[in-house]
Amino acid sequence: MKTIKIIGPAYPYRGGLASYNERLAEEFQRQGYQVNIETFTVQYPNLLFPGKSQYVDGPAPSKLSIQRTVNSVNPVNWLAVGKRIKREKPDLLMVRYWLPFMGPCLGSICRLVRQNKHTKVVCLADNIIPHEQRPGDKQLTSYFMHSIDGMVAMSQSVLNDIDKFNPKLPRQLCPHPLFDNFGERLDPLQAKKLLQLDPQTSYLLFFGFIRDYKGLDLLLKAFADNRLKKLPVKLIVAGEFYTKPEPYLQLIEDLGLKDRVLLHTDFIPNEKVSQYFSASDLVVQPYKSATQSGVTQIGYHFEKSMLVTDVGGLSEIIPDQKIGYVVQPSPDAIADAIVDFYSQNRQAEFEQNLIEEKKKFSWEHMVNAFLSVYKQTQQND
**Full 3-state SS string of 292-308:** CCHHHHHHHHCCCEEEE
CA distance 196 to 213: 30
Mean pLDDT of 173-194: 94
What domains sit in the chain, N to C, each tagged with a CATH number?
3-177+362-379 (3.40.50.11930), 188-360 (3.40.50.2000)
Closest by alpha carbon to 97, among 65, 51, 42, 140? 140
Nearest to 368 by CA among 128, 99, 161, 122: 122
Q: Is 252 exposed, middle or buried (0-12, 13-18, 19+ CB in 10 A)?
A: buried
pLDDT confidence tier of residue 14, bands split at 50, 70 and 90:
confident
Q: What is the pLDDT of residue 133?
A: 78
Q: Identify the band that residue 379 occupies on the pLDDT scale cut at 50, 70 and 90.
A: confident
Q: What is the pLDDT of residue 142?
A: 96
d(CA 293, CA 312): 10
Nearest in space to 325 (alpha carbons), one of 381, 357, 286: 286
Concatenate the DSSP letters of all residues of 109-146 into one string: HHHHHHTTSS-EEEEEES-SS-SS--TTHHHHHHHHHT
The pLDDT value recorded for residue 259 is: 96
Q: What is the per-residue pLDDT across 223-249, written as a single tens digit (0 to 9) for each?
A: 999 999 999 999 999 999 989 999 999
Which tens digits make up the pLDDT trace of 64-112? 999 999 999 999 999 999 999 999 999 999 999 999 999 999 999 999 9
pLDDT of residue 93: 98
Is 168 exposed, middle or buried (CB count within 10 Å of its CB: 0-12, 13-18, 19+)? exposed
pLDDT of amino acid 181 = 87
Q: What is the pLDDT of residue 50?
A: 62
For residue 272, name the pLDDT band (cuts at 50, 70, 90): very high
Query: Is the per-residue pLDDT at 303 higher than 70?
Result: yes
- What phi and psi, each to the nearest 5 degrees, are found at residue 283? -95, 125
What is the pLDDT, as a whole number, of residue 53?
67
Q: Does residue 284 register a pLDDT over 80? A: yes
Which of 260 and 270 is assigned the larger pLDDT? 260
Identify the band that residue 260 occupies on the pLDDT scale cut at 50, 70 and 90.
Answer: very high
Residue 290 has pLDDT above 90, yes or no: no
* pLDDT at site 47: 63
Quickly state the pLDDT bin for 291 (edges 50, 70, 90): low
Q: Return mean pLDDT, the chain.
A: 94
Q: Which residue stretches of the chain are H helix? A: 16-30, 75-88, 103-114, 137-145, 156-161, 188-194, 216-223, 226-229, 246-254, 270-279, 294-301, 314-317, 331-343, 347-357, 363-379
CA 369, 371, 372, 373 dihedral sign is positive
Residue 295, CB-side half-sphere exposure with 13 Å CA sphere? 26
Q: What is the distance, to the nearest Å, from the Cα of residue 296 to the centroid of all Cα atoms in its chain? A: 9
Quickly state the pLDDT bin for 51 (edges 50, 70, 90).
Answer: low
pTM of the model: 0.84
Residue 131 has pLDDT above 80, yes or no: no
What is the Cα gyration radius of the chain?
Answer: 21
